[in-house]
Structure 1
């Protein structure tokens, strides 16, 4: 594996709208990120990924872009962003933008021109099909947000356009080389501006199985999941390789793909030495649909890393802006505590690859738990979750409870800076409800507490960057340990040193027989190094939910 500048970095995702508001309008802004750069420096962050801040009507919280070359006034100006890039560089922090090019906003100039002349140049930037009322639609695909992917083209009763996400997000036609050239020009414009790279959104969707055709319905709405089409679509590599050649590779830019459905044989093409992307997110645990258990989680992340061993790097997460809070999903409710949050942090963080922290994760932010009214939430995907729950026979209260567990708004509530008004996020009215738990879970209460979740993350990052161990954590082999032992998540990182991560993911103690003696305890989630083992023994007893990161003899 060729060594790259980004291999030893730690990344952090900012959801700007909810991070920190400096002007009292209830919406986080770029100046809020600038003001908190020293927060990231102290924590040990190297790369900041900003969720979209481009001009947008915010139908899907900025993932519907109306101008790729400008900043939405809600967040600030281009000059503010330039200042953020410059101030970040002073602190060795690179700024990564969100690249949303499967679709744009229906308020983008391209789509307006397509509506004015569907048969002209810009009509070919989109998927526009002839359709008359009463006739079957071009295909029966269901949008990710519910309902058909087809919508009537504004101003035309006999035409429809494709949107696999929100109807205000028309899909861009990547089969058109003129469209691709415009996208590459825009990407390079941003890289010339000094950003470190991009996180690439929903990129697998850019390749459609053409011509459009139906698949068997999987609900009584007569429609089918997008996954059926994606499983049959082929040839995306040509687009991705062209994009990488025309953009990222020229700049040695960092690129992380939001990739699903990739096949094992495609991994070297995606994240190999000269892959389409620097890295891609590991969504293996996020894709588990049944109730999470420690063994399910272990098997998912172990399999994901075993399949890329020696090929490339995954980006490791427990949550993001599209997922509920990780601690609320992966840890049983009756076991949720600072200790278990620290345990989960170390498990995912010390795997091979690039660790990503999502805003608020480092202070242990949790799900809302209770939603009293759907109008208290904001996400455009909530309606489909709620209506489908009611359709399946759940009561209104049960449907709201489902949203309290599944809604993306769980991760989007404002950052909890303090126990003061609006959690210290804004002096105005927050754009989204504050999580009521902010009085107990907030940065101000954790900063000077050596046993806090925040300081654990700081220590975790410092351990990964410790010159004595960095090479092993970054390039060392990943070797699972006692993979079949129930509720134990344990693995080796073997390089210059031999490090072992051991987590007892249950409420009862476990006895572990180690392959050799422990040389040194590097990190633990208990307040003091446990007395239940000695340097002369290879057998240890892990207390309930105990984590140990140790250097082995």
Structure 2
């Protein structure tokens, strides 16, 4: 593999609406991010991905973009953006923006012109089809529920495609003029000084044409969009995107990729791949049910372990994955991957150890570093997220009571991660002086940064230790580049692996349960690099691990 500048980095995701509000309107802003750059530097991050801050009606929290060249007034203005880039550069922090180009907003100038003249130039920027006798072009279900076809405003006999929200019409990548518009915009931002982009929902840009119906998989008579995606390849589009934009600037690019075809990983993240890296979403989709969130079981320790190891094996000698516990589209990782009732500082640190010590680029999502947990929502009225509201209806239609439906969907709700960052224990968790746009997590009095910043045993300080270990010159090559070699995979609730180079071997062992368990080491221990418990029980080569204890050893 060619070694690139981004391989050794640690990344951090900011959800700007919920990070830090400086003007008291209850919504986070760019000045808030600027004010926390020293905090991010202290934590040890090198790259900061900011979820969309472009102009948007906010039908899907900014992922419906009405102007790619401007900052939404909700977050500030372009002067604030320029200042953020300059201040981040002073601290050797690269800023990464979201690239949302599968779709735009129905309030974008292109779509407005398409509505005025569907047969003109801008009508060809979208997928617009004539509909006769109510027969839709296909029975694909939108990711947010319901048909992905919607009547074109002002033209009841014409329908447009939206794989996501109906206010997010899909852009027609088959049209070279659309691709040129996108490449020009991407390069404009890279010229401004961006370190790169996180590429949103990119696997959706290629559609299977002509349109047709697919096997029905729910009572709504519709079919999962992946049934269409598996018939097509984005290769030509993504190769052109890479060559015309990212490659010209040696920019960092991380793809959000679902439903990629088997054996295509080298095309995505190999030496000449479309992207620098892509997120390992394998644990996030583990256990997902076609029926909906209500039918989704809690992931077990063994499932988590086996899923991670499968991804690590696939990526070895191919490229780097970007590893996540959570992001803005997921519930809080500690609540999702740890059994209910067993979420505590020790188990949170264990999960962090596994996250950081496998091969790949670690991404921290805001609040993860202080161990923020899911919100105990008590009413569906507290939920803002469109996907959760849709899944609530799916659960009700499946026969669950309103109380059962809420219990089922709140565990997976994207709002768990979208509530404001808990900075301290003052009103509104120090996020705003106004009324926050989304409720604070009620546990902010207990779980907040201020309470952890000067506590050497806190989750926050443990994350700092993990980052420092990754950057330690003595161990960096092994942690960044070493092979992940699983061990003791026949054991229950134990995740252990070597990180190996020719010169060095590290052993990571995590007891993924509340009961103690012992392992017999195959080698002598040279150094204990990290231990999430105060105690250390080693008798010869017999190591007894307390509940949720995780250790990183040089052997």
Contact 1:102 1:206 in 2 (8 A): yes
How far apart, CA to CA, are the structure 2 residues paired with 1:80 and 1:327?
Answer: 34
Is 1:545 the counterpart of 2:548? The answer is yes
**For the aligned residues, what is the CA RMSD?**
0.9
Aligned with 1:258 (options 256, 259, 283): 256
Contact 2:103 2:171 in 1 (8 A): yes
1:183 aligned partner: 182
1:350 aligned partner: 357
1:331 aligned partner: 338
2:278 aligned partner: 280
Aligned with 1:475 (options 481, 485, 501): 481
1:124 aligned partner: 124
2:517 aligned partner: 510
2:405 aligned partner: 399
Aligned with 1:316 (options 318, 323, 328): 323
1:533 aligned partner: 538
Shift of 1:527: 2.4
How far apart, CA to CA, are the structure 1 residues paired with 2:62 and 2:258?
Answer: 21
1:486 aligned partner: 492
TM-score by length of 2: 0.97
Is 1:301 the counterpart of 2:316? The answer is no
Shift of 1:291: 2.0
Contact 2:45 2:93 in 1 (8 A): yes
1:75 aligned partner: 75
Shift of 1:264: 4.0
Contact 1:451 1:527 in 2 (8 A): no
How far apart, CA to CA, are the structure 1 residues paired with 2:218 and 2:259?
Answer: 22
Is 1:241 the counterpart of 2:247? The answer is no
Q: Deviations over 1:354-392 (max 9, x none)?
A: 0000010000000012x2322211111122111111111
How far apart, CA to CA, are the structure 2 residues paired with 1:527 and 1:90?
Answer: 37
How far apart, CA to CA, are the structure 1 residues paired with 2:164 and 2:261?
Answer: 24
1:208 aligned partner: 207
Contact 1:377 1:433 in 2 (8 A): no
1:229 aligned partner: 228
Shift of 1:316: 0.2
Shift of 1:265: 2.6
Q: Secondary structure at the match of 1:550?
A: strand
How far apart, CA to CA, are the structure 1 residues paired with 2:515 and 2:413?
Answer: 32
Q: Deviations over 1:73-132 (max 9, x none)?
A: 000111101111110011010000000000000000000011011011110000000014
How far apart, CA to CA, are the structure 1 residues paired with 2:410 and 2:176?
Answer: 43
Is 1:441 the counterpart of 2:444? The answer is no
Further displaced range: 492-501 or 166-175: 492-501
Q: Secondary structure at the match of 2:403?
A: helix
How far apart, CA to CA, are the structure 2 residues paired with 1:527 and 1:66?
Answer: 52
Shift of 1:403: 2.8
Shift of 1:337: 0.3
Q: Deviations over 1:460-508 (max 9, x none)?
A: 1000000100011111111111122111100110123211110010122
Shift of 1:54: 0.2
Number of residue equivalences:
545
Contact 1:19 1:32 in 2 (8 A): yes
Shift of 1:178: 0.7
Q: Secondary structure at the match of 2:124?
A: helix
Is 1:90 the counterpart of 2:85? The answer is no
Q: Deviations over 1:7-28 (max 9, x none)?
A: 1000000000000000000000
Q: Deviations over 1:225-264 (max 9, x none)?
A: 1111111123x11000000000000000000000112234
Q: Deviations over 1:282-324 (max 9, x none)?
A: 0111111232100000000000010110110000001000000
How far apart, CA to CA, are the structure 2 residues paired with 1:430 and 1:97?
Answer: 24
Q: Secondary structure at the match of 2:285?
A: coil
How far apart, CA to CA, are the structure 1 residues paired with 2:499 and 2:445?
Answer: 38
Please show how residues 354-393 of structure 1 align to structure 2 within 5 Å.
354-369=361-376, 371-393=377-399
Q: Secondary structure at the match of 2:410?
A: helix
Contact 1:50 1:95 in 2 (8 A): yes
